[in-house]
Amino acid sequence: MTLLDASPVKIDLRVPDGTDVDVEFQLTDGTDPINITSDDVMFTAKSVPQGVVKVATKTNGVGDHSSPAIGKTVFALTRTELALADEEVPETWAYEVRRSSGGKERVYISGVLRVGPMVGTDA
């Protein structure tokens, strides 16, 4: 019998505020990619788990995945979604990537999404 780790993979992300960012995720069963061709995959970010929504749920369905046979899908985070209340104060949010297949939903990837000001350059 083969046992699979059912816990979500933890991946922390860091992105500059006020920019458009595409983030590609690959869903696996712990070691091997999962075919997501006929599945919905969702991305949500909140201030903290169960907190205030920072990035409303985005859903990639059939035909939306970048390489569905090997579990890859891309979510576009917009500059509006990544805008900070105070441009000089970074924020840390919680995010998760969920898969819906056969009427069941499961979190595959979760972590911290750090949104912060760009360092910039000297004049």
**What burial class does residue 82 get, using C-beta atoms within 10 Å of its C-beta: 0-12 exposed, 13-18 middle, 19+ buried?**
buried
> Is residue 79 within 8 Å of residue 46, measured between CB atoms?
no
Per-residue model confidence (pLDDT) at position 13: 95
The residues, any chain, with a CB within 8 Å of residue 112's CB and separated by 6 or more, are 12, 13, 92, 93, 94, 95
The arithmetic mean of pLDDT across residues 38-61, rounded, is 96
Q: Does residue 6 carry a pLDDT above 90? A: no
Question: pTM of the full predicted structure?
Answer: 0.88
> Is residue 78 within 8 Å of residue 17, measured between CB atoms?
no
Q: Does residue 7 carry a pLDDT above 70? A: no
Among residues 95, 117, 116, the alpha carbon closest in space to that of 51 is found at 95
Which of 64-73, 77-86, 90-99, 103-112 has the least mean pLDDT?
Answer: 77-86
The residues, any chain, with a CB within 8 Å of residue 123's CB and separated by 6 or more, are none
Paired tokens of 5: 């780790």
Query: What is the average pLDDT value for the chain, to the nearest integer?
Result: 90
CATH topology of domain 16-116: Immunoglobulin-like (2.60.40)
> Is residue 43 within 8 Å of residue 74, measured between CB atoms?
no
Helix and strand totals (H; E) in the chain = 0, 8
